[in-house]
């Protein structure tokens, strides 16, 4: 609604008048209210400038409630002024019935009027015909130009005929109300479903959530790596958290990771021997068994090769800690909650020269040599990052057979049917 409908005296289209009245309403009227309703009572209440004393001797003291200075006089004056302001505001003219409410219709003739169209429809064109009054009976007729004539008996006296020329009424053209067609939102096109790329079928992995399970060990890869099957049938590869057993491949042993073991042929042979012993120990204790495993909330869930990092519990005993106690493994430098305990266990084993920490000379305790292979050793492909060969890693059957005969325990699982022949598919 326009502001001109709220402020008395404003006329739509009269800009200067409306601006003046707007300033009066917005600035002068509030100042008047403040002065009348607050300033005057305050002066009377505080007798500022002796106004209250002067009022005591004036005829206004005859007004009920008005006396000398004081709070009572101020309160009564506030009420009177408030009523007076209300009366003045009520007396202000409104737009309804005001002679200034809008432009008057011009007089276009003695009996004509200008029809004003309303907002919705324009006044139709009207034609007014005035018949000439006659004496006696007769048939009233009209001429072609609309002049009414009446036949009379005897001498006919033709009187001036009041003639109203057909006219087109001048009407203020009503603004054509053009209904703006409602803009209909175009239907949102349904996006075509994005084709799902074909996924490569991968071997099932262990649960992505949870922290503790009972699983079945299906294979011992080496002393600190296992393959297991979960109750739901999924399989995964586990890495024992916080421990590291020596490698079971002679070319990959690292004497610098084991304190006190020299980087010599003797030292390497010693670590290789204890890598084999750790693998055999884990196979004896875990292979085919149902064990409880748990991840550590403070450690990474998976290692660099994607293996699940866990503690393994056999009959409630932590198997990771047992590898340290019996000298099959060293402490693996990583962050996990039991690191303090594992550090103490490793230190005790080193002090007592248990297991791998019992190295005393260049020659390790003799171990059964692998079955000799006639001829020169073939060139072998590089060992995969997880340290585990499979048949697909070899170019020839000779390479796979050499690896199997070097370690008949078949830690890589190259002889699936235990007939002594590795990777028969390569033959």
Query: What phi, psi does 308 have (nearest 5°)?
Result: -75, 125
For residue 292, list its beta bridge partners.
214, 313
Lowest mean per-residue pLDDT among 151-160, 186-195, 214-223: 151-160
In this predicted structure, the answer to whether residue 266 has a pLDDT above a threshold of 90 is: yes
CB atoms within 10 A of CB 357: 18
C-alpha closest to that of 272 among 287, 256, 255? 255
Mean of pLDDT values over 108-125: 41
pTM above 0.75, yes or no: no
pLDDT (tens digit, 9 = 90+) per residue, 241-254? 999 999 999 999 99
For the chain, give the secondary structure using H, E and C: CCHHHCCCCCCCCCHHHHHHHHHHHHHHHHHHHHHHHHHHHHHHHHCHHHHHHHHHCCHHHHCCCCCCCCHHHHHHHHHHHHHHHHHHHHHCCCCCCCCCCCCCCCCCCCCCCCCECCCCCCCCCCCCCCCCCCCCCCCCEECCCCCEECCCCCCCCCCCCCCCCCCCCCCECCCCCCCCCCCCCCCCCCCCCCCCCCCCCCCCCCCCCCCEEEEEEEEEEECCEEEEECCCCCEEEEEECCEECCCCCHHHCCHHHCCCCCCCHHHHHHHHHHHHHHHHHHHHHHCCCEEEEECCCCCCCECCCCCEEEEEEECCEEHHHHHHHCCCCEECCCCCCCHHHHHHHHHHHHHCCCHHHHCCCCCCCCCCCCCCCCCCCCCCCCCCCCCCCCHHHCCCHHHHHHHHHHCCCCCCCCCCCCCCCCCHHHC
Tokens of 64: 């009920």
Find all residues with CB under 8 Å of 100, minimum gap 6, and list them. 9, 11, 14
Find all residues with CB under 8 Å of 27, minimum gap 6, and list them. none
Q: How many whole angstroms from its chain centre is CA 221? A: 46
In this predicted structure, the answer to whether residue 350 has a pLDDT above a threshold of 90 is: yes
Mean of pLDDT values over 183-207: 55
In this predicted structure, the answer to whether residue 94 has a pLDDT above a threshold of 90 is: no
More confident residue, 258 or 369: 258
pLDDT for 221 equals 95
pLDDT for 86 equals 77
pLDDT (tens digit, 9 = 90+) per residue, 4-26? 666 667 777 778 787 877 777 77
How confident is residue 31, by pLDDT bands cut at 50, 70 and 90? confident
Mean of pLDDT values over 187-215: 64
Lowest mean per-residue pLDDT among 48-57, 213-222, 307-316, 396-405: 48-57
pLDDT for 377 equals 73
More confident residue, 365 or 316: 316
pLDDT for 261 equals 94
In this predicted structure, the answer to whether residue 198 has a pLDDT above a threshold of 80 is: no
């Amino acid at each position: 609604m326009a502001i001109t409908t709220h402020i008395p005296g404003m006329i739509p289209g009269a800009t200067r008048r409306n601006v003046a009245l707007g300033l009066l309403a917005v600035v002068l009227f509030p100042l008047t209210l403040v002065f009348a309703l607050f300033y005057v009572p305050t002066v009377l209440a505080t007798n500022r400038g002796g106004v209250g004393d002067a009022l005591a001797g004036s005829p206004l003291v005859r007004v009920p409630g008005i006396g000398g200075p004081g709070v009572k006089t101020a309160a009564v004056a506030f009420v009177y002024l408030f009523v007076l302001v209300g009366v003045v505001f009520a007396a202000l003219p409104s737009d309804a019935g005001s002679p200034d409410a809008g432009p008057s219709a011009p007089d276009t003739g003695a009996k004509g009027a200008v029809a004003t169209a309303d907002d919705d429809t324009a006044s139709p064109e009207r034609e007014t015909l005035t018949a000439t009054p006659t004496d006696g009976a007769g048939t009233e007729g009209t001429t072609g130009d609309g002049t009414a004539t009446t036949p009379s008996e005897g001498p006919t006296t033709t009187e001036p005929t009041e003639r109203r020329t057909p006219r087109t009424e001048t009407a203020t053209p009503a603004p054509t109300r053009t209904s703006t067609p409602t803009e209909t939102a175009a239907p949102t096109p349904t996006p075509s479903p994005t084709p799902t790329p074909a996924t490569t079928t991968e071997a099932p992995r262990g649960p992505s959530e949870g922290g503790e399970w009972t699983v079945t060990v299906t294979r011992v890869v080496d002393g600190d790596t296992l393959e297991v099957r979960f109750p739901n049938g999924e399989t995964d590869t586990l890495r024992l958290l916080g421990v590291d057993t020596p490698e079971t491949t002679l070319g990959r042993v690292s004497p610098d990771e084991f304190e006190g073991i020299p980087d010599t042929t003797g030292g390497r042979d010693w670590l290789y021997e204890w890598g084999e012993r750790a693998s055999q120990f884990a196979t004896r204790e875990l292979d085919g068994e149902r064990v409880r495993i748990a991840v550590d909330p403070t450690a990474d869930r998976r290692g660099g090769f994607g293996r699940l990092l866990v503690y393994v519990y056999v009959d409630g005993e932590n198997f990771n800690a047992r590898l340290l106690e019996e000298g099959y493994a060293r402490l693996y430098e990583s962050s996990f909650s039991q690191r303090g305990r594992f550090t103490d266990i490793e230190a005790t084993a080193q002090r007592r020269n248990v297991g791998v920490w019992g190295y005393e000379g260049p020659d390790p305790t003799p171990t059964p040599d692998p079955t000799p292979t006639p001829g020169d050793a073939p060139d072998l492909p590089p060992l995969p990052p997880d340290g585990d060969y499979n048949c697909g890693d070899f170019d020839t059957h000779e390479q796979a057979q050499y690896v199997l005969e070097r370690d008949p325990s078949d830690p890589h699982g190259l002889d699936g049917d235990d007939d002594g022949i590795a990777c028969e598919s390569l033959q």
